[in-house]
A and B are shown apart, each in its own frame.
Chain A
Amino acid sequence: MKKTTSKRMFTFGLVLLILVLAACAPLYAPVYTVILLTSILMYMTIAVSWALFSGPTGYISLASAAFFGAGIYTSAILGKALPLPLVIVVGALASFCLALLVGALTLRLKGIYFVMFTFGLVELLLHFILWWEVTICGTTGRVVPPAGNATVFYAMLIILVILVLTVFIIRRSRYGLALFSIGENEEAAAHAGVHVTVLKIIIFAVSALFMGAAGAAMATRWTYIDPRIAFNPLISFMPVLMAIFGGIRPLYGPIIGAAIFTYLEEFLITRFPYYYMLIFGIIMVVAILYMPDGLVGLIQRLWKGISGRKHADT
């Protein structure tokens, strides 16, 4: 009992230390580092949001790019009219509403049909907005009023902290239990009294909310956006790979996965600009082949191997 309390205190202290260090980054770190950290925070937010819904329920959503893009476009349309915090809130709500609608339509689809529908949504929005920009507005893209590097960094940090707290609370609540039960056996969950449809739709929308907020904040760093930037299909696949790479089940799995992947991307782009996507692909395939439970699962297995041996000695 005592051991777990001290362990918990240690974890808490560690998280606090990382947070404080991160929060002060713009004060001491070079601009390049702040920008990299912002990217890492962005991917962490998307990956954790994705894992909030898809992790326990097993519904693989490829709609992340649609929700992220909805946030970006909100920022592009309202950026000049409203202050940044308000833009982020509106972007988040826009994504939330989009997800409610999509969720109500699609969550009765199972397995591969759900996957295809969510990805179709991204492509539909992309091509519709492409057409709309060119034909109706006569433009190819939009200028977003830029916010400073430090501002975007803090916005992303705040979004991520709120997200992690939200996920933590949901996971520990009865609704976290219900989400896992849906992934295990949806029919049994319904017959045990879980309102499966409503729970799925709401959690799906909450996960979209944070993706939308991240999109709205990040748009101000890119300053120019067009539909192909806003609805980049890569944003749909990255969180899946990051979460699987890190480990879907524990909360820190997608966080670790996002940190490693984003850093890796940056590292590969600067060192091997022509080979980086290639190396990336190879890492993905290897990760899926050899790390079924993600990095966290791999470490846990190794750890069990070591500690198991210790017990055997005594």
Chain B
Amino acid sequence: MPILEGRGVTRYFGGLAAVSDVDFQVEQGEVLGLIGPNGAGKTTLFNLISAALSPRSGSITFRGKEITDLKPYQICRMGLARTFQTVKIFGNMSVLDNVLLGAFFGGEGRIASADAAEAAASALEFVGLAEAAAIPARDLTLANQKRLEVARALATRPELLLLDEMMEGLNPTEVNRAMGLVKMIQDKGITVVMIEHVMKAIMSVCGRIMVLHHGAKIAEGTPQEVSTNRTVIEVYFGERADASDS
């Protein structure tokens, strides 16, 4: 049984279909890449899964349970956490408090303070921000703010993590570190769905890739299959290929 499944998920923005009749399955333990040109509806799909938006039609199930009509906090507590394309950290709170919040509220049931503190500390350790615990989150570099978002999401003890353009705006060294982080997350047994534009990262980290274009799913498969798919090359890699040729 897939851990996350969507059927006929559709959402319009003022008459335009941002996500149109998309079916998808995410298998336990995999890293699924979600790619597509700008405006393809990737982030909208994330917003629909995490209940930041509600779909016009279609249904989404997580671990076999219908989650279509739930609220964001409920979805997080069920074990489905996310990060944001433009970082949404709590800038005036300390790095530790950012993560502590996730630990306190993100899990199922009430957690003891000591356990939450431990979970927060280990999440910070995991992403490599343990030394920065006491400083205000706004003082971190962009790369570290993105790591902080991952740590906050991990502190909610998720089974599935939605990563929205974690590598955007990072330099090559930082991209490599971020790729390492995704692999480490997978090794913990957490399923990952990631939106990404950095092809190198997608190709080496993802076991499977799904391609969106104009809100519709146009291809799905292993990196090899997708990169040789004619439709994909036309709408997506086509642009890239032209760009690299010139």
Interface residues of A (CB under 8 A from B): 174, 177-178, 180-181, 184-185, 187-196
List chain A residues, Cβ under 8 A from B153: 192
Structural contact, A193 and B93, CB atoms closer than 8 A: no
The interface size of chain B toward A, counting residues with CB under 8 Å, comes to 29
- Also in contact, A185 and B76, with CB within 8 A (given A174-B104, A192-B102): no
List chain B residues, Cβ under 8 A from A178: 101, 104-105
Interface residues of B (CB under 8 A from A): 50, 52, 71-73, 76-77, 81-82, 84, 88-93, 97, 100-102, 104-107, 113, 116, 152-153, 156
| Residue in chain B with minimal CB distance to A182 | B90
| Residue in chain B with minimal CB distance to A195 | B73
Structural contact, A181 and B72, CB atoms closer than 8 A: no
List chain B residues, Cβ under 8 A from A191: 50, 52, 72-73, 76, 81-82, 84
Structural contact, A194 and B93, CB atoms closer than 8 A: no
List chain A residues, Cβ under 8 A from B91: 184
Structural contact, A193 and B106, CB atoms closer than 8 A: yes
| Distance, CA A192 to CA B116, complexed state (A) | 14
- Also in contact, A192 and B71, with CB within 8 A (given A180-B90, A181-B90): no
The contact sample of 28 A-B pairs, CB cut-off 8 A, is A174-B100, A174-B105, A174-B116, A177-B97, A177-B100, A177-B101, A178-B101, A178-B105, A180-B93, A184-B92, A187-B52, A187-B72, A188-B84, A188-B90, A190-B71, A191-B72, A191-B84, A192-B76, A192-B105, A192-B152, A193-B76, A193-B104, A193-B106, A193-B156, A194-B105, A195-B71, A195-B105, A196-B73
List chain A residues, Cβ under 8 A from B101: 177-178, 181, 189, 192, 194
Q: Shortest Cβ distance from B136 into chain A, in angstroms?
A: 11
Given contacts A189-B90, A192-B106, A194-B73, 20 further A-B contacts (CB under 8 A): A174-B100, A174-B113, A178-B104, A180-B90, A180-B97, A181-B93, A181-B101, A184-B89, A184-B92, A187-B72, A188-B90, A188-B152, A190-B76, A191-B50, A191-B72, A192-B101, A192-B153, A193-B102, A193-B105, A195-B105
| Distance, CA A188 to CA B107, complexed state (A) | 15
Structural contact, B104 and A177, CB atoms closer than 8 A: yes
List chain B residues, Cβ under 8 A from A189: 90, 101
| Distance, CA A193 to CA B153, complexed state (A) | 10
| Distance, CA A129 to CA B50, complexed state (A) | 45
| Distance, CA A193 to CA B99, complexed state (A) | 12
| Distance, CA A192 to CA B101, complexed state (A) | 7
Q: How many contacts between A and B, using CB within 8 angstroms?
A: 75
| Distance, CA A190 to CA B77, complexed state (A) | 10
| Residue in chain B with minimal CB distance to A191 | B72
Q: Shortest Cβ distance from A101 into chain B, in angstroms?
A: 21
| Residue in chain A with minimal CB distance to B110 | A174
| Distance, CA A174 to CA B111, complexed state (A) | 10
Structural contact, B90 and A185, CB atoms closer than 8 A: yes
List chain A residues, Cβ under 8 A from B116: 174
| Distance, CA A181 to CA B90, complexed state (A) | 6
Q: Shortest Cβ distance from A310 into chain B, in angstroms?
A: 22
| Distance, CA A190 to CA B107, complexed state (A) | 13
Structural contact, B92 and A193, CB atoms closer than 8 A: no
Q: Shortest Cβ distance from A250 into chain B, in angstroms?
A: 14
List chain B residues, Cβ under 8 A from A188: 84, 88-90, 152
Q: Shortest Cβ distance from B84 into chain A, in angstroms?
A: 7
| Distance, CA A196 to CA B51, complexed state (A) | 14
| Distance, CA A192 to CA B52, complexed state (A) | 12
| Distance, CA A188 to CA B93, complexed state (A) | 13
| Distance, CA A251 to CA B89, complexed state (A) | 24
Q: Shortest Cβ distance from A304 into chain B, in angstroms?
A: 15
Q: Shortest Cβ distance from A180 into chain B, in angstroms?
A: 6
Q: Shortest Cβ distance from A236 into chain B, in angstroms?
A: 26
Q: Shortest Cβ distance from A201 into chain B, in angstroms?
A: 14
| Distance, CA A177 to CA B88, complexed state (A) | 16
| Residue in chain B with minimal CB distance to A187 | B88
| Residue in chain B with minimal CB distance to A249 | B92
Q: Shortest Cβ distance from B191 into chain A, in angstroms?
A: 17
Q: Shortest Cβ distance from A297 into chain B, in angstroms?
A: 13
| Distance, CA A214 to CA B189, complexed state (A) | 54
Query: Of the candidates A174, A177, A185, A194, which one forms a contact with B89 in the assembled complex, judged by CB atoms under 8 Å apart?
Result: A185
Structural contact, B77 and A193, CB atoms closer than 8 A: yes
List chain B residues, Cβ under 8 A from A196: 73
List chain B residues, Cβ under 8 A from A192: 76, 81, 101-102, 105-106, 152-153, 156
Q: Shortest Cβ distance from B78 into chain A, in angstroms?
A: 10
| Distance, CA A192 to CA B148, complexed state (A) | 12
| Distance, CA A187 to CA B50, complexed state (A) | 11
| Distance, CA A187 to CA B82, complexed state (A) | 12
Query: Of the candidates B77, B81, B93, B104, which one forms a contact with A184 in the assembled complex, judged by CB atoms under 8 Å apart?
Result: B93
Pairs A-B, 9 closest by C-beta atoms? A193-B106, A184-B90, A193-B105, A188-B88, A193-B76, A174-B104, A190-B72, A192-B102, A194-B105
| Residue in chain A with minimal CB distance to B80 | A191
Q: Shortest Cβ distance from B170 into chain A, in angstroms?
A: 20
